[in-house]
């Protein structure tokens, strides 16, 4: 019989996997400059002869590779913060109220009766809460100085005007982006219980006689609001607001609203209570220079800027929610949604329920008269 086949040779044992050179658990590194202690890893038989510097160099290379891998997985770094500012220096044409010259102008204005508006405005002087809220900040300051009850709660139990309440003529999110025009400022003042008289400055190329008459009207408005009067009805108040271009006053920025608090006849200067207090302090400017700043065109509506005399109106701003009144809208570029709804509601009160189906066309005409498409915008009360 044939001899049996020889048994197959056993397979060689697999070689042990090399241990990591940089495992913290396999090597013990002393505090000296050389690697002198024993190593438990069988593949690191040469560790006893490696210098401490070589070990650190190998570890550093491993760490760098790991950092590069993690950096590749890290999302893009956020952009740096934009440039910030702490106030702005006033140009030479503007005199700070707190300066020596500013105090002298104030003493002169006080002696000649030109500070009638200052003290009440100073009591309610505030800072606009948004970069584009100069109009709202000015108006809330004036409404509080006029003692107008908003009929709405500001905080806790207190009724007090704040910029966020002035939202009936233009949405606040839009105002945050583009501010308000002179006409929109008038609309807001009227809707919140004040009486207004507004005028625009004439362009520089207007007839000389017309320019002189316009300048005279501005001076009269300044005197009416800032100067002491011998005879004045009790409780009657008027404050002056200017809408002007900062660039003409050599300031940074464009259009701006601020109240005028005092007038010095000797120097022919007015005191601007700048509501952007984070940028400029109260300061004096020459009255003719302010008129020139109001001649600048508003880029939004391509019309000159101007001034507004804001006075006592309704005893409470909340009365506009329950009573109809005629509001002159000569300066309003677009009809106020709230005024449109008030007009429509007043007309509809005259109808009987049974008459509504028969007079639908007349109701449509009333809507068009009240403000067209804007009448369908629900006002934010």
On whether residue 65 sits in a domain, the answer given is no
22 is known as an active-site residue: no
* Rounded Cα–Cα distance for residues 144 and 121 (Å): 9
Domain residue limits at 164: 95-321
- 350 within a domain of the structure (yes/no): yes
Specify whether 362 is located in the same domain as 239.
no
- Token pair in block for residue 283: 């300061």
- Domain membership of residue 162 (yes or no) is yes
**72 pLDDT above the threshold of 70:** no
- Name the more confident of 142 and 375: 142
Does 169 or 20 have the greater pLDDT score? 169
Looking at residue 67, its pLDDT comes to 53
Q: Are residues 169 and 296 in the same domain?
A: yes
- E-state strands within the chain: 95-96, 194-200, 238-245, 255-264, 269-272, 283-286, 297-298, 303-304, 306-312
116 and 264 in a common domain: yes
Q: For 267-326, how does the pLDDT look when each residue is reduced to its tens digit (9 = 90+)?
A: 999 999 999 999 999 999 999 999 999 999 999 999 999 999 999 875 555 444 444 334
Higher pLDDT, 364 or 374: 364
Note whether residue 83 is domain-resident.
Answer: no
Q: Are residues 217 and 295 in the same domain?
A: yes
Residues 237 and 363 both lie in one domain:
no
Which of these three, 276, 293, 321, is where a domain ends?
321
The answer as to whether 177 is a domain residue is yes
Q: Give the gyration radius of the chain's Cα atoms.
A: 38
Q: Is residue 125 part of a domain?
A: yes
- Cα–Cα distance measured from residue 252 to residue 266, given in angstroms and rounded to the nearest whole number: 28
3-state SS, one letter per residue, for 53-98: HHHHHHHHHHHHHHHHHHHHHCCCCCCCCCCCCCCCCCCCCCEECC
**Residue 152 domain flag:** yes
> Does residue 300 sit in the same domain as residue 341?
no
Most confident segment among 46-55, 174-183, 358-367:
174-183
Tokens of 347: 């007309």
What is the DSSP track for 258-271? EEEEEEETTTTEEE
CATH code at 283? Answer: 3.90.70.30
Q: How many CA atoms lie within 13 A of 275 on its CB side?
A: 30
How far the first Cα of the chain sits from its last, in Å, is 114
Same domain, 122 and 257: yes
Q: Which of 124, 256, 283, 314 is catalytic?
A: 256
Query: Catalytic site residue 134?
Result: yes
Number of domains in the chain: 2
Q: How does residue 79 score in pLDDT terms, banded at 50, 70 and 90?
A: low
329's CB contacts (< 8 A; 6+ apart) are 187, 335, 336, 339
Domain end position, chosen among 321, 346, 364: 321
Active site residue 274: yes
From the candidates 94, 115, 134, 225, give the one annotated as an active-site residue: 134
The residue to which tokens 């625009």 are assigned: 200
Whether residue 307 lies inside any domain: the answer is yes
- Residue 361 confidence (pLDDT) above 70: no
Whether 223 and 364 map to the same domain: the answer is no
Residues 267 and 352 grouped into a single domain: no
Per the residue annotation, which of 274, 283, 314, 336 is the catalytic one?
A: 274
pLDDT at 23: 40
Q: Does 265 share its domain with 355? A: no
Task: Note whether 316 and 288 are same-domain residues.
Answer: yes
Interatomic CA distance for residues 168 and 186, integer angstroms: 12
% of the chain exceeding 90 in pLDDT: 54
CA distance readout (Å), 314 to 190, 212, 318, 370? 9, 34, 9, 22
Looking at the structure, do residues 127 and 200 belong to the same domain, yes or no?
A: yes
Mean pLDDT for the stretch of residues 124-150:
96
Mean model confidence pLDDT for the chain: 77
């Amino acid at each position: 019989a044939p001899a049996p086949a020889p048994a197959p040779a056993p397979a060689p044992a697999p070689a042990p996997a090399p241990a990591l050179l940089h495992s913290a658990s396999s090597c013990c590194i002393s505090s000296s400059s050389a690697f002198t202690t024993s190593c438990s890893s069988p593949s690191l038989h040469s560790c006893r002869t490696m210098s401490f510097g070589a070990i650190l160099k190998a570890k550093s290379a491993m760490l760098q590779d790991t950092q590069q891998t993690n950096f590749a997985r890290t999302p893009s770094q956020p952009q740096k913060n934009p440039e910030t500012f702490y106030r702005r220096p006033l140009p030479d044409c503007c005199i700070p109220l707190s300066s020596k010259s500013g105090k002298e102008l104030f003493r002169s204005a006080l002696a000649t009766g030109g500070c009638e508006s200052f003290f009440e405005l100073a009591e309610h002087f505030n800072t606009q809460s948004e970069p584009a809220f100069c109009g709202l900040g000015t108006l809330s300051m004036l409404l509080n100085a006029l003692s107008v009850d908003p009929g709405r709660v500001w905080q806790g139990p207190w009724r007090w005007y704040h910029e966020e309440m002035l939202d009936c003529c233009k949405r606040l999110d839009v105002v945050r982006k583009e501010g308000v025009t002179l006409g929109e400022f008038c609309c807001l003042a009227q809707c919140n219980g004040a009486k207004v008289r507004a005028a625009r400055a004439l362009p520089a190329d207007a007839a000389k006689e017309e320019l002189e008459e316009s300048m005279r009207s501005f001076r009269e408005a300044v005197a009416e609001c800032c100067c002491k009067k011998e005879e004045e009805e009790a409780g009657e108040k008027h404050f002056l607001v200017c809408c002007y271009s900062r660039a003409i006053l050599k300031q940074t920025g464009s259009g701006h609203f601020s109240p005028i608090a005092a007038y010095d006849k000797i120097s022919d200067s007015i005191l601007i209570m700048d509501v952007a207090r984070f940028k400029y302090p109260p300061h004096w400017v020459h009255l003719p220079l302010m008129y020139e700043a109001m001649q600048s065109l508003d880029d939004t509506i391509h019309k000159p800027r101007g001034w507004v005399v804001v006075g006592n109106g309704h005893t409470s701003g909340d009365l506009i929610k329950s009573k109809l009144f005629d509001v002159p809208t000569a300066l309003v570029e677009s009809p106020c949604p709230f005024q449109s709804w008030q007009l429509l509601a007043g007309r509809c009160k005259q109808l009987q329920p049974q008459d509504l189906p028969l007079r639908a066309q007349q109701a449509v005409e009333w809507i068009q008269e009240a403000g067209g498409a804007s009448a369908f915008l629900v006002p934010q009360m």
